[in-house]
Amino acid sequence: MLFKVYFWQDESVIYNIKSGDIHLLSSFDGKVLDLMSSNTKQEVLIKKIIEAYQIDYQDAEDYLGKLYDIYRKLSLID
């Protein structure tokens, strides 16, 4: 595991175990990160984003792509 996460209502705090950095995320984005780290299939993640934000498939795919980029930059996922 590269991080630890604590959830409180609609927010979450992520602790990067390697760097010691901490990040404030929405609770949903924290949950997506948690799912990404457990190798959840992309289709499942997109479905969750569509349900959470009521957006179409393409927008959800773009959103997920951005999350992957951000989390990789922060070394929270491989």
Residues that bind other proteins (CB under 8 A): 4, 6, 8-9, 11-13, 15, 17, 20, 22, 24
Question: Please, where are the H alpha helices in the chain?
Answer: 27-37, 42-53, 57-73
Phi, psi of 56 (to 5 degrees): -80, 175
Sheet of 3-8: strands edge to edge?
3-8, 11-16, 22-26
Residue 11 C-beta-side C-alpha neighbours within 13 Å? 3
User: At closest approach, how far in Å is the CB of 15 from other proteins?
Assistant: 4
User: At closest approach, how far in Å is the CB of 51 from other proteins?
Assistant: 23
User: At closest approach, how far in Å is the CB of 55 from other proteins?
Assistant: 24
Closest to other proteins by CB, 24 vs 44, is 24
Closest to other proteins by CB, 8 vs 38, is 8
Closest to other proteins by CB, 17 vs 44, is 17
